[in-house]
């Protein structure tokens, strides 16, 4: 038996999480995703952290005027320097992570509290998961959650780390004031240049839906990546005290 690579496993189990569900189940899952996305965005707004809908969530809301059915979670982008310790402390019960791909609240707060401007860390983000009656909300065993991708400075770009790859966009696409789109009577924030950001992420053909797309960028010509460590010339590390980064 041939074992699946992590990326192949991800394609089968994350990008098509609802492929065998009934239409009613897909709709219920989608409504829960909307609820979690709105709650996560409101949590960031409470602490005046600029955020925008990102990746597949942005693609669905901007192009299709709705979340893409079957996607495993929703995605939000924030600038790394805008993330605040007060926010992480306030919503620590919702920021879930195993600590490998995303920050745990405790680890991030420790970084912020340390009086050390020599501490550099890898560019992680957070996961936000809503609770109902004190318990994390799930559907058919699947957690309802949003990825909070923190975009770190790199030359004139912004990048984040996901699994072992880096993904990037031009800084001008996300550093300006956010825009808005209204879907299902709800206003959602967009990056400052949503079309250029989508082009960097998915290529020039992002406007045309591809029913066969499973998250494999191997043959796609996109600026955004994925990029390997060798493409950057080393591993990226960021200093939250100084706002500077090093490649080593």
pLDDT, tens only, 105-146? 999 999 999 878 888 999 999 999 999 888 999 998 888 999
Q: Which two tokens stand for residue 90?
A: 């306030």
Residue 217 has pLDDT above 60, yes or no: no
First to last CA, the chain: 38
Distance CA 106, CA 110 (A): 6
Instruction: Report the C-alpha gap between 15 and 214 in whole angstroms.
Output: 6
What are the phi and psi torsion angles at 46 (to 5°)? -55, -35
Q: What is the average pLDDT value for the chain, to the nearest integer? A: 88
pTM of the model: 0.90
Residue 213 has pLDDT above 80, yes or no: no
Q: What does the block give as tokens for 38?
A: 């709105």
């Amino acid at each position: 038996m041939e074992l699946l690579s992590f990326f192949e496993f991800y394609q089968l189990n994350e990008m098509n999480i609802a492929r065998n569900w009934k239409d009613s189940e897909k709709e219920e899952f989608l409504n829960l995703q909307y609820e979690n996305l709105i709650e996560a965005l409101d949590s960031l707004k409470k602490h005046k952290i600029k955020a925008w809908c990102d990746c597949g969530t942005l693609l669905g809301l901007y192009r299709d005027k709705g979340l893409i059915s079957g996607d495993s979670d929703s995605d939000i982008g924030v600038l790394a320097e805008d993330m605040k310790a007060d926010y992480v402390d306030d919503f620590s019960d919702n920021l879930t992570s195993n600590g490998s791909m995303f920050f745990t609240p405790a680890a991030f707060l420790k970084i912020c509290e340390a009086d050390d401007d020599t501490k550099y860390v890898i560019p992680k983000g957070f996961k936000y998961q809503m609770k109902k009656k004190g318990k994390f909300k799930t559907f058919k065993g699947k957690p309802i959650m949003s990825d909070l991708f923190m975009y770190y400075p790199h030359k004139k770009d912004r990048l984040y780390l996901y699994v072992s790859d880096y993904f990037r966009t031009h800084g001008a696409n996300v550093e300006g004031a956010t825009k808005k789109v209204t879907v299902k009577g709800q206003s959602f924030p967009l990056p400052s240049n949503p079309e250029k950001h989508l082009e960097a992420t998915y290529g020039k053909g992002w406007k045309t839906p591809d029913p066969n797309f499973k998250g494999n960028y191997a043959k796609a010509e996109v600026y955004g990546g994925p990029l390997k460590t060798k493409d950057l010339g080393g591993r990226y590390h960021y200093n939250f005290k100084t706002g500077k980064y090093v490649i080593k």
